[in-house]
């Protein structure tokens, strides 16, 4: 009810602003990195695996897609990420030395549970879930678990569940890295310091809301939008596009920035805003040269850049600068303004933000 919403217009906005607390709660019990954060016997399991297979749906699939970059670059463990509804029916090659990781806010998504059971039936006994509901079917079904502490999420479009999943997946990356001899004590201390800084860092990003609102008024008049990112931020571009389409009904798609010239460039007009998650200057320079090609057609570039970048707004190029430069945890910060952009664009269009048409919070039937 209205009392629970406090100063917020919708649950989604409230949940976006709860992220500093949700992340702090998710990290609360962490005093150091160890496999046992994921349950008794986790060390034995982590020692026995040499591959990770992540299974999830929707926004949870995008947190998994982000984690692939961490798992490969930090823990040096080959990782694949599959959409649960595809994996469960695909004729794949099972490997018993795989850690099967499911990601789910609800822990009740039918396709993700079926994909987990399919993996196990194929001969992959090691299962772990990153889940927001301790009493869910998913937690019961998996050998190991990390429970995110986002609290109840009511808005259909997932926000605080996503960022807390990323925190859980980063902890998993560090625990696997440690087991595999890839994490020095100095690295561990630095990563923990960066994790503990997250609530403050997210709070500072939330303060960009007025700048994002100004952009959302432009977006609300469009019917299409393109999101670009590279590396770790490509899944964040995908998540930004998903948020926008789910609640504002604007057609949005995401591309890895380097693919722009292999197709989507043909779509760019004054009517097609291009949102770019671009933490560093090298990528920005490449993008600016891509954008020169579309300037003549009025293409508008909306860039979220880090605090240490030199890029300035100019005609056709709009920049919101993030307060800091974030390193490996950058995706957790960069998704926040994209959540706000989708939220305020949807508000400007007057949609039912917390209950978008045709969508359900939890898809418990196939
Ligand atoms: C639905 C929700 C999404 C969610 C997805 C997966 O589509 O609307 O917000 O990401 O299900 O749900 P899960 O509970 O498994 O994370």
Nearest CA to ligand 1 atom 4: 58
Q: Which helix (H) or strand (E) holds 86?
A: helix 84-87
| 290 pocket-lining for ligand 1 (C-beta < 6 Å) | no
In this prediction, residue 91 has a pLDDT band, given cuts at 50, 70 and 90, of very high
Are 130 and 115 within 8 A, CB to CB?
no
Closest CA to 240 of 148, 315, 302, 325: 302
Closest CA to 58 of 171, 156, 145: 156
User: Sheet holding 144-147: strands in order across?
Assistant: 79-83, 51-56, 98-104, 127-131, 144-147
pLDDT of residue 88: 97
What's the Cα-to-Cα distance from 85 to each of 65, 92, 108, 227, 366, rounded to whole Å?
A: 15, 13, 14, 24, 9
Are 222 and 271 within 8 A, CB to CB?
yes
How many whole angstroms from its chain centre is CA 165?
8
Active site residue 261: no
In this predicted structure, the answer to whether residue 26 has a pLDDT above a threshold of 90 is yes
Two structure tokens written together for 292: 């020169």
Return the higher-pLDDT residue of 295 and 218: 218
| 58 pocket-lining for ligand 1 (C-beta < 6 Å) | yes
Please tell me whether residue 105 adopts helix, strand or coil conformation. Answer: coil
pLDDT of residue 282: 77
In this predicted structure, the answer to whether residue 252 has a pLDDT above a threshold of 70 is yes
| 59 pocket-lining for ligand 1 (C-beta < 6 Å) | yes
Which of 51, 286, 355, 361 is an active site residue?
361
Are 144 and 38 within 8 A, CB to CB?
yes
What mean pLDDT is predicted for residues 235-245?
Answer: 98
Please tell me whether residue 314 adopts helix, strand or coil conformation. Answer: strand
| 114 pocket-lining for ligand 1 (C-beta < 6 Å) | no
Among 16, 114, 355, 361, the mutation site with the greatest number of ligand 1 atoms within 8 A of its Cβ is: 361
In this prediction, residue 281 has a pLDDT band, given cuts at 50, 70 and 90, of confident
ipTM, 2 decimals?
0.98
In this prediction, residue 323 has a pLDDT band, given cuts at 50, 70 and 90, of very high
Among 11, 61, 85, 106, the mutation site with the greatest number of ligand 1 atoms within 8 A of its Cβ is: 106
Neighbours of 31 (CB within 10 A): 8
pLDDT of residue 315: 86
What's the Cα-to-Cα distance from 267 to each of 59, 253, 297, rounded to whole Å?
A: 26, 11, 10
In this predicted structure, the answer to whether residue 144 has a pLDDT above a threshold of 80 is yes
Cα of 157 from ligand 1 centre, angstroms: 8
Nearest CA to ligand 1 atom 7: 58
Q: Give percent of the chain above pLDDT 70.
A: 99
In this prediction, residue 3 has a pLDDT band, given cuts at 50, 70 and 90, of low
Distance CA 63, CA 347 (A): 25
Distance CA 119, CA 127 (A): 9
Show the beta-strand stretches assigned E in 171-326.
Answer: 224-229, 251-256, 274-278, 301-305, 317-321
| 129 pocket-lining for ligand 1 (C-beta < 6 Å) | no
Distance CA 75, CA 43 (A): 14
| 362 pocket-lining for ligand 1 (C-beta < 6 Å) | yes
Two structure tokens written together for 161: 């569940």
Two structure tokens written together for 29: 């019990």
Return the higher-pLDDT residue of 337 and 312: 337
């Amino acid at each position: 009810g209205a009392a629970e919403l406090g100063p917020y217009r919708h649950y989604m906005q409230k949940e976006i602003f709860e992220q500093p607390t949700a992340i702090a709660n998710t990290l609360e019990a962490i005093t150091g990195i160890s496999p046992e954060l994921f349950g008794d016997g986790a060390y034995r399991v982590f020692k026995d695996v040499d591959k990770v297979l992540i299974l999830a749906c929707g926004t949870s699939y995008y947190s998994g897609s982000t984690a692939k970059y961490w798992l490969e670059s930090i823990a040096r463990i080959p990782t694949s990420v599959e959409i649960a509804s595809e994996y469960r029916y695909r004729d794949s090659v099972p490997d018993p030395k795989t850690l099967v990781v499911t990601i789910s806010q609800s822990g009740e998504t039918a396709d993700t549970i079926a994909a987990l059971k399919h993996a196990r039936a194929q001969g992959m006994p090691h299962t772990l879930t990153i889940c927001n509901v301790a009493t869910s079917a998913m937690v019961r079904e998996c050998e190991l678990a990390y429970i995110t502490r986002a609290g109840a999420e009511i808005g259909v479009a997932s926000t605080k569940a996503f960022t807390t999943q990323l925190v859980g997946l980063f902890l998993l990356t560090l625990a696997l890295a440690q087991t595999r001899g890839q994490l020095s004590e100095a690295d561990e201390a630095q990563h923990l310091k960066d994790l503990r800084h997250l609530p403050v860092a997210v709070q500072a990003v939330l303060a960009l809301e007025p700048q994002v609102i100004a952009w959302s008024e432009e977006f609300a008049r469009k019917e299409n939008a393109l999101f670009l990112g590279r590396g770790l931020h490509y899944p964040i571009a995908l998540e930004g596009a998903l948020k926008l389409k789910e609640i504002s009904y604007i057609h949005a798609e995401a591309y890895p920035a380097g693919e722009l010239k292999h197709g989507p460039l043909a779509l760019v007009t004054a009517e097609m805003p291009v949102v770019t998650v671009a933490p560093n200057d090298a990528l920005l320079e490449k993008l600016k040269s891509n954008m020169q090609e579309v300037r003549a057609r009025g293409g508008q570039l909306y860039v979220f850049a880090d605090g240490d970048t030199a890029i300035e707004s100019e005609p056709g190029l709009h920049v919101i600068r993030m307060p800091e430069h974030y390193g490996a945890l950058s995706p957790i910060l960069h998704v926040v303004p994209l959540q706000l952009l989708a939220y305020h664009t949807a508000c400007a269009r007057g949609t039912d933000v917390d209950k978008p048409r045709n969508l359900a919070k939890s898809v418990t039937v196939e």
